[in-house]
Amino acid sequence: MSTILTPTRMPRPFDSDRGGEARALFPDLPAPLADLMQGAGGCSPYLLGLMAKERDWVVQAVQDPQAAFDAELSRIAALAADQAASGLRQGKRRMALLIALADLSGHWRLEEVTGHLSRFADAACQLALRTALSAEIRRGKIPGATEDDLETGAGLVLMAMGKMGAGELNFSSDIDLIALFDETRFDPDDFLEARPAFIRATRKLAGLMNDITGDGYVFRTDLRLRPDPSVTPVCVGMEAAERYYESLGRTWERAAYIKARPCAGDVAGGRTFLEALRPFIWRRHLDFAAIQDAHAVRLAIRDSKGLHGAITLPGHDMKLGRGGIREIEFFTQFHQLIAGGRDPALRLRGTVDSLAMLAERGWIPAETAEELTGHYRAHREVEHRVQMVHDSQTHDLPQTDDGFARLAAMMDRDTADLRRELSDRLEAVHAVTEEFFAPGGPGGAAPEVGTTPDAPDIAFDAELVARWRSYPALSSDRARQIFDRLRPHLLSALSRAAHPDEALMAFDGFLAGLPAGVQLFSLFEANPQLIALLGDIVGTAPDLARYLSRNASVFDAVIAGDFFADWPGEAALVEALSATLRREADYEARLDTARRWVKDWHFRIGVHHLRGLITAREAGRQYADLADAVLRVLWPVVQDNFATRHGPAPGRGAVVVGMGSLGAQRLNARSDLDLIVIYDADGVEASEGRKPLAARTYYARLTQALVTALSAPMAEGRLYEVDMRLRPSGNQGPVATSWAAFRDYQRNQAWTWEHLALTRARVITGPPGLSGDVAAFRCEILSQDRAPASVLRQVAEMRARIARARGGTGRWDVKTGPGRNQEIELLAQAGLLIAGHPDGGISEGLERLADGGWLTAEEATSLKETYRLLWQVGQVGKLLTPGALDPDAIGEGGRALLLRETGMEEVTALEALLQDRTTEAEQAMTAGLARGQETDDEG
């Protein structure tokens, strides 16, 4: 494959005389390359001058541009300190000429052009930093540093910002750098000596790059992006910079750090610094409040540069003007800021790559990404050609007709066509970006939520609405401004609720519970569909609305792309949570991240149930899938963290077994988790670690660590409450049970009710070998022959004990009481135990009893239907309220949900049906258990 520079397009010489001079410099070049030299020199006096100075070098360079570029970087890297100034400037001439020729000819596409410019800037910074530091080290001004430390900056790193950080430098770009040093490398006394040395080195570095000599300059270097540049020195300590960003950092600084990367010196230290800044740059929640901050910056730029008014081509600023490059960059970066905290795939530096990823992840339409990418590349090529003419740091289109004719010649375009295209592209970019930053308004208008709705038909309580401004969420001017724009839409949504007054009161509770409002109100403003969803929630599930007021970040999940898609299943949940936690290095951060992740999915299940997208039964399975995923992902995390102190688990490890509703995979919105932990030390007496523990103590504490990981209140709340009373010996036994003790207990000591509980047991996570053994042993125990009458007699006794201990039963109590689900579950478990059927559910257990003659077919059917109805009512009740279900207290929307779930038309009819069904169930159970007694008497 040929490596020679091969033109795919050709500039025309605007100045024929200068074009002739350029061609005469290269009499031996073949026609395509000679034509290129003629066109480039005839359009750019600057390039013509470079051709004259670097004629012999460029003749060889065009034979293999990439090899010539790489060789020049190697030459620069080998320069001695006394050669750096002149050697870098020679490198700048060569690179500028070679890259310009590759750009004008189309040999390198835009990203290659800007990438090569950026790579040269990196090499120049590394040499300049090494040169500047070498003098300080030789003088002993950096304590502990030697010549060997020069390549790693002796603890000083240059952070490339802006276009350099993204690998997108333009042809005559300045470079934005932040110089940082690692204070932790020095003792306090040494720090006082090292700090001024680093400051002197940074100033010398800037001069080496900036100063114009007889050989020219290298790069205009800007150090003003550092923290608080008016009062800080040119080189800042990393710890001080981190404190500044955490306490005073502004939105534009967050945006700037999207593109930041260490380019010279202590690169590893720079990466560590960026990792420490990750929470500052990438907010954990969707950050739509950043849109208004970005719009304010845009308006400030327009004000300072006088860029208001309609787009006119002469003198138009292709970078900062309307429809220009900065508009596309802002559009991209602020979309990244909004969603990058939740979606790490968006944390890219390059504009084109970021636009593509935003489209791939569903944050912007694919056609928008393609359109802006095309405009961005076209804008950048025009920018380069404007700068190539005189190596000017300008972004302005020509003011004169001759200037446009020169630009058209450089691009081999018709001048009129180029003007039309420029105008069309600028207008198109402006239309897309203005709609994002200031929808619905001219120029600097504040964002609005679509069109203002008609006033609600009902008259809301004016006094209640007026007191909203006194709530914490509306304590700031900015929050009040956004909320004032939202209020008509909110009231309109509430007026459409089944019972508007109730919805208003519920929204009042939601708003009163919000600790702050700017972020959430900005989210609503950018995503008006959330207002309708909020109206549904507060109009139907006030308790869920109260939950939202304390966990408003879960709204992020609604707009994260696939909120209303089908349920992904447990395996996909495990994979997603695992990937999420891998991004968190710290144990506590992982636990908090898991809590946020679970809230999103928990909220999703609730909303799907609320809107009728899933049934009560499906919701129960999804809540269980979610709990399973958490246990399967967190159990190894807990074990790894525990092992850092006490060593790996001794023996074969431990399994987590789900019991009760978790084991049966039928959870509700407020379920706790019934768990037992079974371990097998396999003869190993103690762990091997920094703090070894006896095997029994090890697994007891490991189990306690799991319970803490799940139930400890942290910044993001709890994951689940944990109940371990179903372990052998209940609360009196050890929290973790050895494999040998578990087998002995189940074979020789367990009560019948404990074997009944095993019918719902399920190994959720743990080492495969032990998991298989526990599952097989459970089947062995449950498959044993049992006297049916004995089992049913003991169930009858348990039923009587529970009734004596329970007291009264509420009319809407679905779990405990005669004919309620707890009793039906016991009877069904007895059916499975009698039949030796370890893997059945409620229906299978009741059918086994009917097969054995203890229930009639009609009784079994009645019990199954009653169980299903009670489950439906219970799921709705747990979604809507933390206490006992009271239809009079859940509002019209809640009652509508209850009736829709159960297929009833009136609450009174549902209440009567519940009474009839539970009475029938009680009678069926009593009859079935009596038949068991009769069998026993006959025996």
**pLDDT confidence of residue 621:** 96
- Neighbour-count burial for 904-936, b at 16+ CB within 10 Å, e otherwise: beebeebeeebeebbebbbebbeebbebbeebe
Mean pLDDT of 904-924: 93
Any idea which of 121-135, 137-151, 511-525, 691-705 has the lowest mean pLDDT?
A: 511-525
Q: Which residue has the tokens 């009645």?
A: 862
What integer is the mean pLDDT of 887-904? 84
β strands within 515-620, DSSP E:
none
Crossing angle of helices 289-305 and 251-258, in 10° steps, is 90
Q: How many angstroms from the chain centroid is the CA of residue 51? A: 50
At residue 854, what is the residue type?
Answer: W
Q: Is the pLDDT of residue 469 over 70?
A: yes
How far, in Å, are 862, 866, 925 from residue 922 at the CA level? 10, 10, 5
109, exposed or middle or buried, with CB in 10 Å at 0-12, 13-18, 19+? middle
The predicted structure's pLDDT at residue 302: 65
Q: How confident is the model at residue 337 (pLDDT cuts 50, 70, 90)?
A: confident
State the Cα–Cα distance between residues 97 and 116, nearest whole angstrom.
12
392 and 383 Cβ atoms separated by less than 8 Å: no
Percent of the chain with pLDDT over 90: 64
> What is the structure's pLDDT at 2?
64
Question: Angle formed by the axes of helices 31-43 and 45-53, to 10°?
Answer: 130
Q: On the CB side of 209, how many CA atoms lie within 13 Å of its CA?
A: 27
Structure token pair of residue 321: 């003007």
Res. 699: pLDDT tops 50: yes
Q: How far apart are CA 116 and CA 110, in angstroms?
A: 10
Give the Cβ contact number of residue 727 at 10 Å: 25
- The answer for residues whose C-beta is within 8 angstroms of residue 238's C-beta and 6 or more apart is 180, 181, 182, 183, 269, 273, 276
| Mean pLDDT, rounded, for 269-296 | 78
339-377 pLDDT tens trace: 888 788 999 999 999 999 999 988 888 999 999 999 999
Neighbour count for residue 283 (Cβ, 10 Å):
19
CA distance 712 to 718: 6
Mean pLDDT score across all residues of the chain = 89
Axis-axis angle for helices 695-711, 616-646 (nearest 10): 130
Please report which residue ranges of 218-317 form alpha helices under DSSP H: 238-248, 251-258, 267-281, 289-305
Q: Over 50: is that where the pLDDT of 883 sits?
A: yes
CB within 8 Å of 424: residues ≥ 6 apart: none
Per-residue pLDDT tens digits for 575-589? 999 999 998 878 999
439 pLDDT higher than 90:
no
Number of H helices, E strands in the chain: 39, 10
Residue 173, Cβ density class (10 Å: 0-12 exposed, 13-18 middle, ≥19 buried) = buried
* pLDDT > 70: percent of the chain: 92
More confident residue, 505 or 393: 393
Task: Please indicate whether residue 840 or residue 529 has the higher confidence score (pLDDT).
Answer: 840
Q: H/E element holding 870?
A: helix 857-880
> How far apart (Å, rounded) are the C-alpha atoms in residues 436 and 447?
9
Residue 461 gets the label, from left (phi > 0), alpha (psi -120 to 50) or beta, of beta
- What does the pLDDT read at residue 448? 43
Whether 324 contacts 383, CB under 8 Å: no
- Which DSSP state fits 342? T
User: Given CA atoms 224, 228, 230, 232 in this order, what sign does their dihedral have?
Assistant: negative
The two three-digit tokens of residue 620, written as one number: 């129960």
**In this predicted model, which residue has the larger pLDDT, 7 or 816?**
7
SS (H, E, C) 406-418: HHHHHCCCCHHHH
Is pLDDT at 442 greater than 60 in this prediction? no
Ordered DSSP codes for 493-507: HHHTSSSHHHHHHHH
* Residue 747: per-residue pLDDT: 93
Q: What is the DSSP letter of 467?
A: G
Rounded CA gap, 834 and 361, in Å? 53
**Residue where the block lists tokens 């087998």:** 743
Mean pLDDT of 756-784: 95
Task: Using the predicted structure, report yes or no on whether residue 908 has a pLDDT greater than 70.
Answer: yes
Residues in the chain: 939
Which amino acid does the sequence have at 857?
A
Give the pTM: 0.72
Q: Of 666, 533, 526, 539, which Cα lies nearest the Cα of 603?
A: 533
State the pairing for strand pair 261-265/653-659.
unpaired
Cα 257 to Cα 843: distance, rounded to the nearest angstrom: 59
pLDDT at 19: 96
Compute the distance between CA of residue 122 and CA of residue 138 in angstroms, rounded to an integer. Answer: 24
* Per-residue pLDDT band at 807 (split at 50, 70, 90): low
